[in-house]
Chains A and B, each alone.
Chain A
Amino acid sequence: MIKRFRATFRLLLKSPQFVVSLILLSVIGFLTVFGPLITPWEPWSIDATKRFAGPSLQHWLGNDEFGRDIFSNIVYGARISLIVSILSMTFASVVGVIIGMVAGYFRGAWEMLAMRGTDIMLCFPPMLMAIFLVALTGPSIVNLVFVIGILFIPRFARIAYSSTLSVAEIQYVEGARAIGARNWFILLRHILPNILAPLFVQFSLGLGSAILIESGLSFLGLGPPPPAASWGRMISTAQRYLSVSPFGVLWPSIFISATVIAVNLLGDALRDTLDPRIRNRSE
């Protein structure tokens, strides 16, 4: 298992997308975890003498309309975006994979229920459902995690379902069943490890969409309420002062875009490397 992991990692390092995304994600990850130790400013502390101040040695990215330190706000905003997106994808993948595997392994009524259910959920544009559910339940961080998570369950369920269908046909599964292995054991031990690759890809691409939805909702005023710092809300307030100072819009925009680009590149690299069909074609 570890050997296979190492081999995959070595293959990944050959992909320029993976290297770029690894560098971007290391920087963003470092800032997110250690940022609050680097910056001496609280994201909410106001300094009227520094309104719209440009970048300086004390305030690396300048100050916003209340003289708050933009860098601190970005670092704290990164925490919210990353926490929301990682937790929501974890929730979506766990629930989606269980639904998809059960549907693909047991077939029959389960299959019917799960596939028609995901069909219906996929009818709704994600942003419409996100706004609708946030409007009904209120914009807390916990609600955002569940709302975004629910939107992505069908995608994970679909992928897990179709992979399970093909893996369940393979002889070693039949063999395991013949020697009397229990269903849950077969699902966990023989099927799950063999369907992980496409799920990793979806997880990574899903993180990008989740960050976009979270920042979009915050931008529209439906994100986590203050004092939680958030990229979307920073941009939404700063756009009013766009003609005075573009920095308040510029910095968080760069950070959101870089983060989403990084996870999308990671997803692409994973897909190219983990999917044997694409890999062989490229040799």
Chain B
Amino acid sequence: MINYIIRRLVQTAITTFIVVSLIFFLVHLLPGDPARTILGGMTAQPTAEQIAAVREQLGLDRPLHIQYLTYLRDLARADLGESLVNNRPVLDDILLRVPRTLQIAVPALILATIVGIPLGVVAARRRRRMGDLVISTISVAAFSLPSFVSGLLLVVVFSINLQWLPASGWVSPADDFAGFLSRIILPTIALAVAPAGLIMRMMRSSMLEQLGQDYATTARAKGLTDQKVVYGHVFRNSMMPVVTSLGLQAGFLFTGSVIVENVFNWPGIGNMLLDSVLNRDYPVIQGMVLVVSLAFVLINLITDLTYGLIDPRIRYD
């Protein structure tokens, strides 16, 4: 196990370095001059001096390798630079907004699991009968529905027609806890739809696979009830791929949260990313992509380590 952990840690360190470098070179080598795009939004025809001034402010006038080394050095000090729009440190803003995104992402993941797993089990046990057909159709529809569609449908029904819940906005749970709760319900549901469909489907196919295994047949042959075969033997094993798909689910939740935060005007990292792109705030864009992708490298590492812990076969590969 120790060897496995060390090997994965070394791999992760290498991946991190490559991701960090890749982002730098994408920003600097892709066609298009950030200085020109920043100024393009403000004045019609930027002068050469204006462009030079912005390039100097961004450090773009120095040789590429020097810029790269400075970038690595700043990164090692957890310095992601400052926003061009409000001059605040990028990292501070990101850390301010991450919890707000988690406030809807974590409940959404829990909701998706609570709904997805039982429905997946039911579908697998009623294979090719009405229940399976209905659940499988719902699951395809769930992950085919764009999150802005599910979000807006919820707004139409629960905010505009029934007027039960507010359509948008965020309040700090410390200031107004009831208001906070009423505001996280709709975005959480909107965000949970796609992962719920996915979990349902994974649970169904993984359960079917386990039910077809020899040990399940043996258990049935020795006279166990269907109930006991499913919950005593098969359930645990079929949970494996679902539990370890955490990385995949997190990816879905991120994609969803960029859009859901936009629909519900929720001030999390999704909206921050979008604002920075629309404002062409390069330091913020670069910092956000960096932080989010490193978070995903970490999520993948944790997933793999958990997998190795649960399933001993993985360690000896």
Closest beta carbon of chain A to B128's beta carbon, Å: 8
Contact A257 B255 (CB under 8 A): no
A120-B18, A125-B296, A132-B285 given as contacts; is B146 within 8 A of A137 (CB)?
no
Interface assignment of A119: CB less than 8 Å from any CB of chain B = yes
Contact partner of B144 among A136, A208, A216, A219, CB < 8 A?
A208
Q: Which of A51-81 contact B (CB under 8 A)?
A: none
Main secondary structure of the interface of B (DSSP, over half): helix
Chain B: CB-nearest residue to A219 = B148
Chain A: CB-nearest residue to B252 = A125
Query: B residues within 8 A CB of A242?
Result: 152, 155-156, 160
| Interface band, chain B | 35 or more
Please count how many residues in chain A sit with their CB below 8 Å of the partner chain's CB atoms: 43
Q: How far is the CA of A127 from the CA of B259 in the complex (A)?
A: 10
Query: A residues within 8 A CB of B224?
Result: none
Query: A residues within 8 A CB of B149?
Result: 235, 253, 256-257
A221-B278, A239-B263, A257-B146 given as contacts; is B258 within 8 A of A127 (CB)?
yes
Contact A128 B289 (CB under 8 A): yes
Contact B263 A120 (CB under 8 A): no
Contact A220 B251 (CB under 8 A): no
Interface assignment of B13: CB less than 8 Å from any CB of chain A = no
Contact partner of B274 among A131, A138, A264, CB < 8 A?
A131
Most buried by B among A128, A257, A261: A128
Interface assignment of A49: CB less than 8 Å from any CB of chain B = no
Query: A residues within 8 A CB of B64?
Result: none
Q: Which of B133-159 contact A (CB under 8 A)?
A: 133, 140-141, 143-149, 152-153, 155-156
Of B27-35, B50-58, B116-124, B225-233, the stretch lying at the interface with chain A is B27-35
Query: A residues within 8 A CB of B144?
Result: 208, 212, 257, 260-261, 264
Closest beta carbon of chain B to A107's beta carbon, Å: 17
Closest beta carbon of chain B to A220's beta carbon, Å: 6
